[in-house]
């Protein structure tokens, strides 16, 4: 779609926006908002080089991102205080990790829930400690709750009763039912302390988690944002023997094909520098690109059949066939809440 392409181009080469027409600005900003990339775009563009009405919208987006960053860091601190008595490592993931570690990927990024990683054997204690300090269950449905506990890589989501903010407590980065099996112990062992009692994953593992989030755990909705994360992370971490370490680490987490695919896609869309030997042709790439660019200038998702394919694929990857059939059956016969 044209709007998604405008967005990708504006992020990759901010100076190209000088030639954009008014009608295209509307499409670009709407697509950026729908892809949750408006704050990021606002940090990339020079407000002096855009029309006044666009500059106002970008200024709002920057202010909004600053506030989201502040709220996300505060939420991380709240979780740290709740979990400190347990003496377990608490590793920040995704957007909160980017801003806590001061990474480029955090610039203007929208951050919703707090995602943390804790050792699997400490899950019960962690949940009890969070429940004792004001977090409450959201999933009322018994099937959903037991599904999470049995088959997911995270606890059922908890919401804090006063601050109305959600926390996802992970014990690994992919559902145990998914085909690849990341090494959760290695994720924790490689984590880096930030000096405030919280940690983030190692550089390579941050990228691998972003890739797992993009490809192996969902239908690629919001994919442009996740891919932008990957682009920024690669550019920031690139250096001596980086690609060798990334490849070895990806191998260890069973995610090497996914990491290579993400690197190729980031290179194609955002011009991410990747080694020559990573740049190979793959028959699956064009369809993924089409799915990533499905957003139109009204903020809608186009390409319904492409999206359906990836929706089916996301379930297929997450569950063995029999289990998938049972899951879909249970969801289908459930009475609407």
Partner 1 sequence: MRHRFSVQVGAVGFRIGSAWRGPIAALERLYVGYPKPDVPDMTVRLFPEKPWRRFARPSVAISGDFWLPDAAPLPLRQGLLAAEMGMNLQVALGWRRHLLLHCSAVERDGRVLLMSGASGSGKSTLATMLALRGWRFLGDEFAFVDLEDGRIHPFPRASSLKNEAVAAVRSAGGAVGPVLEGTPKGMIGYWRPPEIAIARMTEAAPPAMLLFPRFGRPENVERLAASETFMLLTQASTNYVSLGEAGFGALTRLVQDLPALAIDYPDGEAGMMLVDRLWGET
Kindly list the residues in this chain that would bind partner 1 in the complex (CB under 8 A): 22, 25-26, 29-30, 33-34, 51, 53-54, 56-57, 60, 63-64, 67, 70-71, 298-300
In the complex, least distance from residue 51 CB atom to partner 1, rounded to whole angstroms: 6
Closest separation in Å from C-beta 71 to partner 1? 7
CB of 299 to partner 1, least distance (A): 6
Exposure b/e, 155-164, CB count within 10 A at least 16 = b:
bbbbebeeee
Q: How far is the CB of 203 from partner 1 (least distance, A)?
A: 31
Task: Find where tokens 């990491």 sit.
Answer: 259
- Classify each residue of 263-290 as buried b or exposed e, where b means 16 or more C-beta atoms within 10 Å of its C-beta: bbbbbbbbebebeeeeeeeeeeeeebeb
- Which two three-digit tokens encode residue 101? 């570690």
Question: Which residue, 179 or 300, has its beta carbon nearer to partner 1?
Answer: 300
Distance of closest approach, residue 20 Cβ to partner 1, in angstroms: 10
State which residue, 57 or 191, has the beta carbon closest to partner 1. Answer: 57
In the complex with partner 1, the residue whose CB is nearer, 77 or 236, is 77
CB of 285 to partner 1, least distance (A): 31
Given a contact cutoff of 8 angstroms between Cβ atoms, the answer to whether 116 and 79 are in contact is yes
In the bound state with partner 1, the residue whose beta carbon lies nearer, of 56 and 326, is 56
Between 121 and 164, name the residue whose CB sits nearer to partner 1.
164
Q: Judging by DSSP bridges, how do beta strands 91-92 and 199-200 pair with one another? A: parallel
Are the CB atoms for 38 and 32 separated by under 8 Å? yes
In whole angstroms, how close is the CB of 29 to partner 1 at the nearest point?
Answer: 7
Q: d(Cα 44, Cα 316) in Å, to the nearest integer?
A: 37
Of the candidates 292, 164, 284, 279, the one whose C-alpha atom is nearest the C-alpha of residue 225 is 292
Q: CB-wise, 20 or 86, nearer to partner 1? A: 20
152: number of Cβ within 10 Å: 19
Nearer to partner 1, 22 or 280 (CB): 22
Helix (H, G, I), strand (E, B) or coil at 211: helix
CA distance 176 to 179: 8
């Amino acid at each position: 779609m044209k709007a998604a392409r405008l967005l990708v181009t504006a992020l990759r080469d901010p100076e190209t926006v000088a030639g954009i027409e008014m009608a295209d600005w509307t499409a670009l900003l709407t697509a950026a908002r729908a892809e949750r990339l408006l704050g990021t775009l606002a940090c990339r563009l020079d407000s002096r080089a855009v029309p006044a009405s666009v500059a106002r919208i970008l200024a709002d987006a920057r202010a909004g991102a600053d506030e989201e960053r502040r709220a996300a860091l505060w939420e991380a601190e709240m979780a740290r205080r709740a979990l400190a008595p347990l003496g377990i490592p608490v590793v920040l993931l995704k957007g909160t990790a980017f801003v806590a570690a001061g990474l480029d990927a955090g610039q203007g990024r929208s951050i919703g829930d707090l995602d943390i990683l804790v050792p699997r054997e400490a899950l019960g204690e962690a949940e009890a400690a969070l429940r004792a300090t004001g977090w409450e269950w959201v999933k009322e449905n018994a099937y959903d709750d037991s599904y999470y506990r049995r088959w997911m890589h995270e606890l059922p989501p908890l919401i804090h009763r006063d601050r109305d903010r959600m926390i996802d407590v992970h014990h690994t980065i992919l559902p145990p039912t998914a085909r690849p099996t990341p090494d959760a112990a290695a994720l924790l062992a490689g984590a880096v302390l930030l000096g405030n009692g919280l940690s983030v994953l190692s550089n390579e593992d941050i990228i691998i988690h972003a890739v797992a989030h993009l490809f192996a755990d969902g239908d690629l909705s919001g994919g442009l944002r996740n891919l932008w994360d990957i682009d920024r992370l690669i550019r920031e971490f690139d250096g001596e023997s980086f690609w060798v370490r990334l490849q070895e680490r990806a191998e260890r987490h069973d995610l090497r094909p996914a990491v290579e695919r993400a690197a190729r896609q980031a290179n194609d869309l955002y011009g991410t520098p990747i080694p020559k030997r990573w740049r190979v042709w793959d028959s699956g790439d064009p369809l993924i690109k089409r799915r990533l660019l499905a957003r139109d200038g009204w903020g809608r998702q186009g390409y319904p059949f492409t999206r359906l394919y990836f929706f089916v694929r996301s379930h297929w990857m997450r569950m063995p066939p029999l289990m998938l059939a049972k899951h879909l059956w249970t969801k289908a016969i459930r009475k609407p809440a």
